[in-house]
Amino acid sequence: MTQRYAVIGNPIAQSRSPEIHAAFARQFGHDLSYERLLASPETFTETVRGFVAAGGRGMNVTAPFKLQAYALADTLTERARAAQAVNTLRFGSDGILGDNTDGVGLVNDIQQHLGFALAGKRVLVIGAGGAVRGILLPILQAGPARVLLINRTVSKAQALVHAFGELSRVVPGEKLSRAAVGNGSAVLQAGPLDAAAGQCFDVVLQATSAGLKGQGAPLADFRLGADSLAYDLAYAAEPTFFMRQAMARGAARVADGLGMLVGQAAESYRLWWGVSPDVRPVLAQLEAAR
Ligand code: ATR
């Protein structure tokens, strides 16, 4: 019997998720349908509940509904709770499970697909919005030596450090706030956009919503180590403003968020079907169609 899945968002016509999930299903011979659902904040809940009533098994959630999906879920995974946002819903007899696969999708893309181990690395994250909250736990769990969060509004970066740090300490007036996270070996810090000036990083993640537009995008000052990766969570047909900026600074490797998109879809697929699809042929297919 065909199993029904969907992605919900606004706008939604641009979503690549139907073709990604169809490609995963072909790898296993699964019989699924995967549709796009357009909703408004007012119709989001009834659209989800209507899909469940019609036999839907699961749903991906994209902008601007990740917070509403978080509120709607009956139970949450640890990483969804940490993110305070949900991009994957699973419908079962025990109600609606909310998960967040964005961070694992990013970390898998960086570590498995691009071959950059994050353990022991110096990581700079530009931005402190919903996207960063979604990825922070899996990044910290990968064991970096240091994660510096910089943001135009420094209080938002500091709030994330508080939320994610086991031992957080913000000294009023101090430029950086620090928190030791997890086993204490990783250090999470927050600062304004200029806090990275003159410092060297192995991985720089561009996670602001201004990244695509170029104009007005934050021009953070940072240096890159010899074997460095600059990664823009956004993706576009052409290299983004941030990727060009990083190349000019000698980044060994640059990437955009297409791999993260396929990675988060693969993790959703695993939650729904219990198997991990091979992301490489699907990513190659999307790359070819850019
Ligand atoms: P998302 O879900 O994409 O993270 P968001 O929660 O609205 O969206 O967060 C947007 C992020 O992009 C924030 O870090 C924001 O900085 P502020 O917290 O200071 O608003 C950042 N951002 C957006 N436009 C920016 C710009 N022109 N320059 C610098 N940062 C910008």
Q: Which domains does the chain have, with CATH numbers?
A: 3-100+262-288 (3.40.50.10860), 103-256 (3.40.50.720)
Cα of 93 to ligand 1 centre, how many Å?
A: 38
What is the predicted pLDDT for the residue at 68? 98
CB atoms within 10 A of CB 52: 18
CA distance 135 to 262: 15
The larger pLDDT score, comparing residue 186 to residue 18, is at: 18
Q: Return the structure tokens found at 281.
A: 């042929």
Summarised one tens digit per residue, pLDDT across range 245-260 is: 899 999 999 999 999 9
CA distance 95 to 71: 13
Mutation test of ligand 1: which of 87, 209, 260 has the most ligand atoms closer than 8 Å to its C-beta? Answer: 209
Cα of 92 to ligand 1 centre, how many Å?
A: 35
Residue 50 has pLDDT above 80, yes or no: yes
Share of residues in the chain with pLDDT > 70 (%): 90
Instruction: Give nearest CA residue, ligand 1 atom 18.
Output: 153
Provide the annotated active-site residues: 66
**Which amino acid is residue 218, in one-letter code?**
P
Q: Is 250 left (phi over 0), alpha (psi -120 to 50) or beta?
A: left
Contact (CB, 8 A) for 166 and 194: no
**Which amino acid is residue 151, in one-letter code?**
N
**Which amino acid is residue 238, in one-letter code?**
E
Atom of ligand 1 nearest to the CA of 66: 2
What is the predicted pLDDT for the residue at 141? 87
> Dihedral, CA atoms, 280, 273, 268, 254, nearest 10 degrees?
-10
CA distance 189 to 47: 40
CA distance 192 to 158: 9
Cα of 192 to ligand 1 centre, how many Å?
A: 13
CA distance 227 to 163: 31
User: Residue 170: is it exposed, middle or buried by C-beta count within 10 angstroms (0-12/13-18/19+)?
Assistant: middle
Report the relative pairing of strands 95-99 and 88-92 from DSSP bridges. antiparallel
What is the predicted pLDDT for the residue at 182? 46
pTM: 0.92
256 half-sphere exposure, CB direction, 13 A CA radius? 19
Cα of 262 to ligand 1 centre, how many Å?
A: 23
Atom of ligand 1 nearest to the CA of 126: 14
Atom of ligand 1 nearest to the CA of 133: 4
Q: What is the mean pLDDT of residues 164-175?
A: 46
Query: For the ranges 9-13, 154-158, 172-176, which has the lowest average pLDDT?
Result: 172-176
Atom of ligand 1 nearest to the CA of 128: 14
CA distance 221 to 223: 7
Q: What is the mean pLDDT of residues 10-38?
A: 97
**Which amino acid is residue 270, in one-letter code?**
R
Query: For the ranges 2-6, 32-36, 41-45, 215-219, which has the lowest average pLDDT?
Result: 215-219
**Which amino acid is residue 53, in one-letter code?**
A
pLDDT band at 211 (very low <50, low <70, confident <90, very high): low
**Ligand 1 interacting residues, C-beta cut-off 6 A:** 127-131, 151-153, 156, 208-210, 216, 218
Mutation test of ligand 1: which of 67, 102, 152, 235 has the most ligand atoms closer than 8 Å to its C-beta? Answer: 152
What is the predicted pLDDT for the residue at 215? 60
Summarised one tens digit per residue, pLDDT across range 113-167 is: 999 999 999 999 999 998 999 999 899 889 899 999 999 999 999 999 888 875 3
